Every structure is written in structure tokens, then in C-alpha cells.
Amino acid sequence: MKTLKLLSGKEVSILGQGTWRMGEKANQKQAEIDALRLGIDLGMTLIDTAEMYGEGGAEKVVSEAIVGRREDIYLVSKFYPHNASYKGLIAACDRSLSRLKTDYIDLYLLHWRGSTPLMETLLGLQHLKQAGKILDYGVSNFDTDDMQEAESLPGGKAIATNQVLYNLMRRGIEWDLLPWCKERNIPIMAYSPIEQRAFVNNSKLDKIAIKHNASSTQIALSWLLHQDNVISIPKATNLDHVKENGAALNIKLTESDLKELDLAFKPPTRKMSLAMR
């Protein structure tokens, strides 16, 4: 598994697993656990979840998927902006820890920016880190101006990642946010890396997919895996999808493939506001 180093020195896999939409239906639970376990076996040991997903249900699914292998997992969870006050996020973290059946979260993220002053949220995150309940903290859905503001506050320079929408069809962050983060060694965690199935049978990817004996979705994921300073977290419950995603790591795109992809999915030519799901 290819890895990337966080500011804190921790090495994490550049291909992880998402869990949005997991933990919503009881009859899907075992399939979700099996999918996450297969992904872990294939080296996708970074698991992204959130208190929002299935209103705690996804964290419970994750807790079962990682039983007996907690130390192999890099566990990421996120708290709601309405829980981002100092007291609120400490309580939210305790609830997540209890659902996840663990005593620490590797990386804890503010899901998106709300009305709580960032200074207060950063204080709460530092408290949780000192208490050992989280090992690192970061943000999600922050545009460059939000990152600049956070960086200027106490504890802001320790932000370990910014989790944002990024894939071949959504390249807006390449204009400013991606280089800004790269200059500071803050990895971007790309969510919806396969644009929620939008690359399936995408004719713009056909030629390259055939050349690499891969699916068009794998090519889109592989493109992200070729980007510097980026971690990708596709979500898959279907076991064939999990295997396909894991195998995307073995695809080596050539310079000419990358140029062709730039022509088919153009990089931004101006500042674009950060897109969000």
C-alpha cells in the first residue's frame, strides 16, 4: 500500500474506505461489515466515518468491522458543526468513541463550518488531543480562506487534513486550495473520489480503460491516486467494487494518459468556490 506522511509524522494509506450510507439499513449491516473487512485485508486500512452517517449507525458498523484489528486501522471520524462548541465536541467525541468501541480516534474532523467560532472548536480539539482521545485533528469542506483563518488561530497549524470533494470531474481545488495545502504538507482527503458512480462506463475514459484492462471507474480512481498529497476514500459495499478499488492502486498511468485525461476533464482556469455534497 502506498502511504503518505501526515504533519504529525504518522504514515497513512493513500487509499482508504468511506462509509457514507452505511449503518442506515439493518439488512445491509453484514454486507457492509464484510466489505470493510475485505478492504482492510486488501490494505485499505484508513476508514472514514462520521457521527452523521446513519446518525451513528455507520460508526457502529465500523466498530464491528475492526474488531480484533484496531491497531492496524487508521480511524477517521467527523463531528457535526452543531456539536463544534468546546463542550459540545468533547461530548460528541465521547459518543463516537462509545459507538466505535475504541478509546481513541486517529483523526477527528469538523464536518463543515458552522456558526461556532473556529477558535473555540480548535480549543476543544486540542483538549481532546491532550486527553489522548484523538491523535490528530482536521477539517472538512474548508475553502482556502477558511484554511487561512484556521491557520492563524491557536492550534490551527496542527490541522492534519482537509477532507473535500475532489475527483476528475470536480477539479476546482487545483486552482488554489490544493497548492495551498501542499505547500504546508497538509494532505487533501478526496471524498466522492468516484463521483458516486458517475464514471461507470464513462465514454471519455473508455480508451484508457481498455488499454489498462481496467474499468472506467478504476481509471478515475487511479488518476486521483497519481495526484501528490491526496488520500482517496471511495465507499463500496459491493465486494467486487471493493476489489476493483483496491486493484486501482496497481494501475500505472503514463504521461500521455495523464495528458489525455487533462484534455477530457479540464483543470480549472479560475477560482471556483468549493463544491460540497
What are the residues binding ligand NAP (CB under 6 A)?
18-20, 48, 111, 140-141, 163, 191-197, 200, 217, 233-238, 241, 244-245, 277
Q: Which residue is nearest to ligand NAP (CB)?
A: 18
Q: What does R_g of the chain's alpha carbons equal in angstroms?
A: 18
Select 213 or 269, whichever has its Cβ closest to ligand NAP: 213
Select 112 or 180, whichever has its Cβ closest to ligand NAP: 112
Is the four-CA dihedral 245, 183, 107, 268 of positive or negative sign? negative
In the complex, minimum distance from the CB of residue 164 to ligand NAP, in angstroms, rounded to a whole number: 7
User: Exposure of 154 by Cβ count < 10 A (0-12 exposed, 13-18 middle, 19+ buried)?
Assistant: exposed
137 CB contacts (<8 Å, ≥6 apart)? 107, 108, 109, 125, 126, 128, 129, 158, 159, 160
Q: Are 231 and 187 in contact (CB under 8 A)?
A: yes
In the complex, minimum distance from the CB of residue 32 to ligand NAP, in angstroms, rounded to a whole number: 9
Select 24 or 195, whichever has its Cβ closest to ligand NAP: 195
Select 3 or 28, whichever has its Cβ closest to ligand NAP: 28
In the complex, minimum distance from the CB of residue 196 to ligand NAP, in angstroms, rounded to a whole number: 4
Q: Are 26 and 53 in contact (CB under 8 A)?
A: no
Select 155 or 234, whichever has its Cβ closest to ligand NAP: 234
Pairing assessment for the beta strands 11-13 and 74-79 based on DSSP bridges: unpaired
In the complex, minimum distance from the CB of residue 200 to ligand NAP, in angstroms, rounded to a whole number: 5
Select 97 or 190, whichever has its Cβ closest to ligand NAP: 190
In the complex, minimum distance from the CB of residue 130 to ligand NAP, in angstroms, rounded to a whole number: 25
Inter-axis angle of helices 86-100 and 57-65, nearest 10: 40
In the complex, minimum distance from the CB of residue 34 to ligand NAP, in angstroms, rounded to a whole number: 12
Q: Is 91 strand, coil or helix?
A: helix
The rounded distance, in Å, linking the Cα atoms of 146 and 231 is 20
